[in-house]
């Protein structure tokens, strides 16, 4: 989704902002732009357009020094991706330049009330903010004008603002969209993601909702909307720059698929001591005291949540429901007396989840976030959080976060289980077996060439395999653009089987012993109607014709293995089609709007 990087200081703002924006590319965007101050001429120049940062770099002027600027990557919401709608936007007299992440829900009302007759250069909700600040600043200080504007905005915003008439200052404001300031001895960065600061700042301050920042040269003040100083924490940036490079791999996705065994071993190291889980007491208490877990998530994280439901119910005996965050936020079911909300989110920034968190916190319910980003909003705002230790996940298609999330769900349940599963041993075996599958990637690539030749594809499975099918199909559709659906194998004959024709690819996942025969029957049903079938099975239930056979592990953790061939299938299908694998069309890594 949209990204913000602003800089004021004595280094080259152009370099810091463009490099920072490149580090945010993985989040997904369709346009990019930058406003830079020419230090010598004291003028401001705007460069922006539809397209990639590489294009932006080709239109920026490098002939002058610049110590102040703001940059943006835009993921279109209001108005198509084009020059006019790209950020930065500016006010009527080009005094204020702004970049914005989020959505202003009442921008039309604001135009009607305060800006009638104004002419706008774009179709965006953002431009209104620049016009309002300019209008209010005629009668009050710039800080007051920005805070007055903040008080009128409904919706979400992370803003970086420059005032042409005061080139020693930069402003920022935040509500519901992530924003932070990076601190260094050469200057101050404003960014929507700490990743943008890596290499340029050692510390940062995550901003709270409704905060306003005034940066004056090398100093900064953080205030609330009425101008009262706000407390804040300074945190260390501990991201290793080499973790956000592709290294020897052609794509981040392939790198991240390959990293999975290592991630599982990191998790074991972090959360086990002498074979016992080392979870902090309050988390264990929250799990012990609840009468029902409500897992709230989206996309891949929700698919991990479905596996988590099985794990909590079967290992720890806790009734568990899984809900789509965007549905739950505005249509809450009847809850039990003592619910525990578990938010699963790779990024920890998904707006749909945050809407639920805010809501349930207001009702006094307990919350736990499982995330890959310990500094994220959902980690900060929930009562407890557990880090999945997957390391930065850059490819939009989530892979290592999914398997890490399942491992963590297992660890949470294990603390309450009767110990009949030796989880440490089980997850260690998973890590080794993951390596065995990844070693066969060239074979999987050859299968893909043969099988995925059509515009559509189906994954079928039963029980826990059905949940893996949901994840497998999401992966394939999001990067190959092949229309893929995951179905409960037994449900096919109730309608979907009508779609099967000659050579329709159908991939079955079979790992559950008690129901493997039933899935095989469903496989024969589609085969006899012309489907081109492929089977991913485990050793104990395999048939000699199955194409991909993975090791046996405890059934509850089999998705961590059976999903890997499906990740590779998606990767190679997208590669064969020449798609932009790490940045698939229309998608964003971190979905910060509802
Ligand atoms: O950061 P989150 O885990 O909250 O993100 C949720 C989904 O947007 C995400 O899993 C999405 O479905 C991925 N692109 C799937 O690969």
Pair 119, 215 in one domain: yes
Query: Does residue 592 belong to any structural domain of this protein?
Result: no
| pLDDT of 375 | 86
Q: Is the CB of 378 under 6 A from ligand 1?
A: no
Query: Does residue 362 belong to any structural domain of this protein?
Result: yes
| pLDDT of 133 | 97
Taking the centre of ligand 1 as the mean of its atom positions, its distance from the CA of residue 71, in whole angstroms, is 25
Q: Is the CB of 301 under 6 A from ligand 1?
A: yes
Taking the centre of ligand 1 as the mean of its atom positions, its distance from the CA of residue 324, in whole angstroms, is 12
Single out the residue in 378, 411, 435 at which a domain terminates: 435
Q: Which residues contact 89 (CB under 8 A, 6 or more apart)?
A: 97, 98, 99, 100, 121, 122, 124, 126, 127, 129, 130
**219-273 pLDDT tens trace:** 999 999 999 999 999 999 988 777 778 888 999 999 999 999 999 999 999 999 9
CA distance 222 to 206: 11
| pLDDT of 280 | 78
Please name every residue paired with 295 in a beta bridge, in sequence order, or none if there are none: 322, 342
Query: Does residue 594 belong to any structural domain of this protein?
Result: no
The residue whose CA is least distant from atom 4 of ligand 1 is 345
Query: Does residue 585 belong to any structural domain of this protein?
Result: no
Ligand 1, residue 475: give the atom nearest the CA: 16
- H/E segment holding residue 268: helix 260-271
pLDDT one digit per residue (tens) for the chain, 594 residues: 689 999 999 999 999 999 999 988 877 788 999 999 999 999 999 999 999 999 999 999 999 999 999 999 998 888 899 999 999 999 999 999 999 999 999 999 999 999 999 999 999 999 999 999 999 999 999 999 999 999 999 999 999 999 999 999 999 999 989 999 999 999 999 999 998 999 999 999 999 999 999 999 889 999 999 999 999 999 999 887 777 788 889 999 999 999 999 999 999 999 999 888 888 789 999 999 999 999 999 999 999 999 999 999 999 999 999 999 999 988 899 999 999 999 999 999 999 999 999 999 999 999 999 999 988 999 999 999 999 999 999 999 999 999 999 999 999 999 888 778 899 999 999 999 999 999 999 999 999 988 887 789 999 999 999 999 999 999 999 999 999 999 999 999 899 899 999 999 999 999 998 999 999 999 999 999 999 999 999 999 999 999 999 999 999 999 999 999 999 999 999 999 999 999 998 888 888 777
| pLDDT of 317 | 94
Q: What angle do CA 516, 520, 521 make, to 5 degrees?
A: 120
Q: Is the CB of 345 under 6 A from ligand 1?
A: yes
- DSSP tag of 398: -
Taking the centre of ligand 1 as the mean of its atom positions, its distance from the CA of residue 307, in whole angstroms, is 16
Pair 322, 424 in one domain: yes
Q: Is the CB of 367 under 6 A from ligand 1?
A: no
To the query of whether residue 284 is one of the catalytic residues in this protein, the response is no
Pair 238, 253 in one domain: no
Single out the residue in 435, 453, 469 at which a domain terminates: 435
Q: How many CB atoms are closer than 10 A to CB 528? A: 9
Q: Is the CB of 405 under 6 A from ligand 1?
A: no
Q: What angle do CA 65, 145, 231 make, to 5 degrees?
A: 85
Contact 312, 306 (CB under 8 A): no
Longest Cα–Cα distance in the chain: 80
Query: Domain of 154: which CATH number?
Result: 3.60.20.10
Name the token pair of 328: 């739950």
Pair 142, 205 in one domain: yes
Query: Domain of 500: which CATH number?
Result: 3.40.50.10490
Domain that holds residue 35: 3-242
Q: Is the CB of 347 under 6 A from ligand 1?
A: yes
Pair 355, 389 in one domain: yes
| pLDDT of 442 | 94
Query: Does residue 588 belong to any structural domain of this protein?
Result: no
Q: Which of 174, 163, 165, 169 is nearest to 88 (CA)?
A: 163
Taking the centre of ligand 1 as the mean of its atom positions, its distance from the CA of residue 388, in whole angstroms, is 15
Pair 118, 195 in one domain: yes
Query: Does residue 402 belong to any structural domain of this protein?
Result: yes
Q: Is the CB of 346 under 6 A from ligand 1?
A: yes
Ligand 1, residue 397: give the atom nearest the CA: 16
Pair 419, 295 in one domain: yes
Catalytic pick from 2, 197, 457, 469? 2
| pLDDT of 141 | 97
**352-381 pLDDT tens trace:** 999 999 999 999 999 999 999 988 999 999
Query: Does residue 590 belong to any structural domain of this protein?
Result: no
Catalytic pick from 309, 400, 475, 589? 589
The residue whose CA is least distant from atom 14 of ligand 1 is 397
Backbone φ/ψ region at 199: left (φ over 0), alpha (ψ -120 to 50), beta: left
Pair 321, 410 in one domain: yes
Pair 359, 461 in one domain: no
Query: Does residue 558 belong to any structural domain of this protein?
Result: yes
Single out the residue in 435, 463, 497 at which a domain terminates: 435
Q: How many CB atoms are closer than 10 A to CB 241? A: 10
Number of domains in the chain: 3
Q: Is the CB of 591 under 6 A from ligand 1?
A: yes
| pLDDT of 454 | 77
Taking the centre of ligand 1 as the mean of its atom positions, its distance from the CA of residue 352, in whole angstroms, is 11
Pair 390, 496 in one domain: no
Name the token pair of 443: 């074979």
Pair 35, 16 in one domain: yes
To the query of whether residue 589 is one of the catalytic residues in this protein, the response is yes
Pair 41, 28 in one domain: yes
């Amino acid at each position: 989704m949209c990204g913000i990087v602003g800089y004021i200081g004595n280094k080259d703002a152009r370099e810091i902002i463009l490099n920072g924006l490149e580090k945010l590319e993985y989040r997904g965007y369709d346009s990019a732009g930058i406003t830079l101050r020419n230090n010598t001429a004291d003028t401001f120049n705007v460069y922006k357009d539809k397209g990639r940062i590489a294009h932006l770099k080709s239109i920026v002027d490098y002939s002058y020094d610049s110590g102040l600027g703001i940059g943006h990557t835009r993921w279109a919401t209001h108005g198509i991706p084009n020059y006019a709608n790209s950020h930065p936007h500016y006010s009527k007299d080009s005094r204020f330049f702004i970049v914005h992440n989020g959505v202003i829900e009442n921008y039309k009302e604001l135009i009607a009330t305060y800006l009638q007759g104004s002419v706008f250069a774009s179709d965006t909700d953002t431009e209104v903010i620049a016009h309002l600040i300019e209008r209010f600043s005629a009668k009050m200080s710039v800080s007051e004008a920005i805070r007055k504007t903040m008080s009128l905005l409904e919706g979400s915003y992370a803003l970086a603002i420059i005032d042409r008439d005061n080139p020693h200052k930069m402003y920022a404001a935040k509500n519901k969209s992530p924003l932070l300031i990076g601190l260094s001895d050469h200057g101050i960065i404003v960014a929507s993601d700490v990743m943008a600061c890596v290499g340029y700042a050692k510390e940062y301050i995550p901003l709270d909702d409704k905060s306003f920042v005034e940066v004056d040269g090398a100093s900064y003040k953080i205030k609330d909307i009425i101008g009262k100083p706000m407390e804040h924490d300074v945190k260390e940036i501990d991201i290793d720059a080499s973790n956000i490079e592709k290294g020897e791999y052609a794509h981040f996705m392939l790198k991240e698929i390959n990293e999975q065994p290592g991630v599982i071993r990191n998790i074991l190291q972090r959360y086990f001591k002498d074979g016992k889980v080392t979870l902090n007491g309050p988390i264990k208490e929250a799990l012990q005291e609840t009468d029902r877990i409500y897992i709230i998530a989206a996309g891949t994280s929700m698919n991990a949540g479905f596996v988590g439901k099985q794990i909590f119910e079967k290992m720890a005996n806790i009734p568990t429901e899984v809900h789509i965050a965007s549905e739950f936020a505005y249509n809450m079911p009847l809850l039990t007396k003592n619910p525990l909300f578990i938010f699963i989110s790779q990024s920890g920034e998904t707006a749909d989840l945050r809407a639920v968190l805010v809501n349930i916190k207001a009702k006094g319910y307990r919350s736990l976030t499982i995330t890959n980003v310990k500094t994220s909003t959902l980690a900060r705002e929930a009562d407890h959080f557990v880090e999945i230790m997957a390391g930065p996940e850059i490819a939009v298609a989530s892979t290592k976060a999914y398997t890490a999330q399942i491992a963590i769900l297992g660890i949470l349940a294990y603390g309450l289980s009767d110990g009949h599963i030796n989880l440490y041993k089980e997850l260690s075996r998973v890590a080794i077996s993951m390596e065995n599958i990844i070693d066969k990637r060239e074979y999987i690539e050859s299968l893909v060439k043969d099988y995925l030749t059509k515009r559509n594809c189906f994954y079928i499975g039963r029980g826990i395999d059905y949940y893996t099918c949901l994840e497998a199909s999401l992966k394939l559709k999001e990067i190959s653009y092949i229309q893929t659906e995951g179905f409960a194998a037994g449900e096919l004959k109730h309608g979907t089987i009508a779609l099967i024709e000659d050579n329709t690819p159908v991939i079955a996942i079979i790992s559950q012993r008690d129901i493997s025969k039933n899935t095989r029957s469903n496989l024969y049903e589609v085969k006899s109607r012309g489907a081109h079938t492929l089977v991913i099975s485990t050793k104990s239930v395999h048939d000699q014709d199955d194409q991909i056979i993975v090791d046996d592990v405890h059934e509850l953790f089999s998705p961590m293995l059976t999903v890997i061939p499906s990740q590779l299938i998606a990767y190679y299908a997208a590669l064969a089609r020449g798609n932009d694998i790490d940045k698939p069309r229309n998608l964003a890594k971190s979905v910060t709007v509802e």
